[in-house]
């Protein structure tokens, strides 16, 4: 797995030249593809902008910590699909609800 | 080729807040039209653009995660904010809208059965860095 830290991709024009706009964050690439951002110094956050598996997440985290000489907390985005599964389970748990009040035996 | 907003993400560089985003509104920027009509003008009034631009604001709606270690940064100082658009086929670097800004409004979730909790936030670009759109590549 090839992990690279590069300048943040945002650019703006200064004296006719495109130069980096954001200097307090770096872009993270895995095997050439952008996967997120991290702080430019230790103590920041490693944030993924595309879905990555746990092994990739862990490998990037270790690499970033080593390159920047300190810990970067990894921010994990809520797994919405898992939350939806919990709701589906609740709907099917057989408990009596207000919706059932008018559906007694005929 | 036009694409949907699917895959767009947002990160806050200093507070570390991010979330499962449902929608991000467009940033609306504006500038004044200054009237420069004078007595020698006939026909229509004339205008010139103001030098300064309102950097604008935008709204986001997101799923509320009560397990998250960080929350919408309504108390945070201005920080780097990056919206990243989904990669198109053949791209390896995401298109971005990036700059510095801060939250001006944050609303927590309404709690009810059988619905996912959501929150909303309004972000003001502060105009000191960006906001600047950079194409993907």
Complex ipTM > 0.85: no
Per-residue confidence band for A49, with pLDDT thresholds at 50, 70 and 90: confident
pLDDT of residue A105: 46
A12 touches chain B (CB under 8 A): yes
pLDDT of A100:
47
Residue B43 lies in a domain: no
Return the structure tokens found at A59. Answer: 């490998």
User: Which pLDDT score is estimated for B45?
Assistant: 97
B69-90 residue pLDDT tens: 667 788 889 999 999 999 999 9
Query: Could you give the residue ranges of the DSSP H alpha helices within B2-47?
Result: none
| Residue range A18-34, pLDDT digits in tens | 999 999 999 999 999 99
Q: Does residue B101 register a pLDDT over 60?
A: yes
DSSP state of B40: T
Could you tell me if residue B126 is inside a domain? yes
Across chain A, mean pLDDT equals: 81
- Residue B128 within any structural domain of the chain: yes
For A:41-70, CB contacts with B below 8 A are: 44-45, 47, 49-50
- Does residue B41 lie in a domain region? no
Of A105, A6, A24, the closest CA to residue A64 belongs to A6
Interacting residues of A54 by C-beta distance below 8 A, sequence separation 6+: none
Average pLDDT over residues A79-97: 58
CA distance B23 to B8: 9
Q: Chain-wide mean pLDDT for chain B? A: 92
Residue B72 has what pLDDT? 73
Q: How many domains does chain B have?
A: 1
Chain A: closest CA distance from residue B44 (Å)? 35
What pLDDT is attached to residue B17? 85
Residue A79 vs residue B1, higher pLDDT: B1
Does residue B32 sit within a domain?
Answer: no
Structure tokens at B67: 């397990």
* Segment B13-58, tens digit of pLDDT: 998 887 788 999 999 899 999 999 999 999 999 999 999 999 999 9
Q: Would the CB atoms of A22 and B80 count as touching at under 8 Å?
A: yes
Q: How confident is the model at residue A50 (pLDDT cuts 50, 70, 90)?
A: confident
Q: Which residues pair with B135 in a beta bridge?
A: none
- Establish if B44 belongs to a structural domain: no
Q: CB–CB of B56/B104 below 8 Å? A: no
Pairwise CA distance, residues A13 & A35, whole Å: 25
Spatial separation of the C-alpha atoms in residues B89 and A33, rounded to whole Å = 11
The answer to the question of residue B107 being in a domain is yes
Claim: this prediction has a pTM higher than 0.90: no
Give the structural domain span for B105. 9-27+55-134
Provide the pLDDT confidence category of residue A51 given band limits of 50, 70 and 90.
confident
Give the C-alpha distances (Å, rounded to integers) separating A95 from A92, A99, A100.
8, 11, 9
Q: What is the DSSP letter of B74?
A: T
Whether B4 maps to a domain, the answer reads no
Residue A45 has φ and ψ, to the nearest 5°, of -125, 140
| B-interface mutation test, from A47, A81, A82, most B Cβ less than 10 A away | A47
Given this model, what pLDDT does residue A42 score?
A: 86
């Amino acid at each position: 797995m090839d992990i690279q830290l590069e300048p943040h991709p945002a650019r703006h024009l200064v004296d006719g030249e495109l130069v980096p706009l954001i200097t307090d964050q770096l872009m993270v690439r895995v095997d050439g593809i952008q996967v997120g951002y991290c702080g430019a110094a230790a103590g920041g956050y490693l944030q993924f902008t595309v879905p990555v598996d746990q092994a990739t997440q862990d490998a990037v985290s270790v690499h970033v910590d080593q390159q920047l000489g300190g810990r970067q907390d990894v921010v994990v985005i809520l797994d919405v699909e898992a939350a939806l599964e919990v709701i589906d389970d609740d709907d099917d748990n057989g408990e009596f609800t207000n919706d059932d009040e008018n559906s007694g035996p005929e | 080729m036009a694409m949907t907003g699917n895959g767009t993400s947002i990160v806050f560089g200093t507070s570390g807040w991010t979330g499962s985003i449902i929608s991000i509104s467009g940033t609306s920027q504006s500038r004044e039209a200054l009237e420069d009509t004078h007595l020698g003008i006939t026909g229509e009034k004339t205008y010139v653009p103001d030098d300064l631009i309102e950097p604008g604001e935008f709204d986001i709606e997101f799923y509320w995660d009560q397990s998250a270690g960080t929350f919408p940064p309504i108390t945070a100082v201005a920080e780097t904010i990056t919206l990243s658009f989904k990669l198109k086929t053949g791209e390896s670097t995401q298109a971005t809208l990036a700059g510095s800004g801060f939250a001006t409004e944050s609303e927590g979730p309404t709690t009810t059965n059988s619905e996912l909790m959501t929150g909303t936030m309004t972000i003001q670009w502060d105009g000191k860095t960006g906001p600047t759109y950079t194409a993907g590549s």
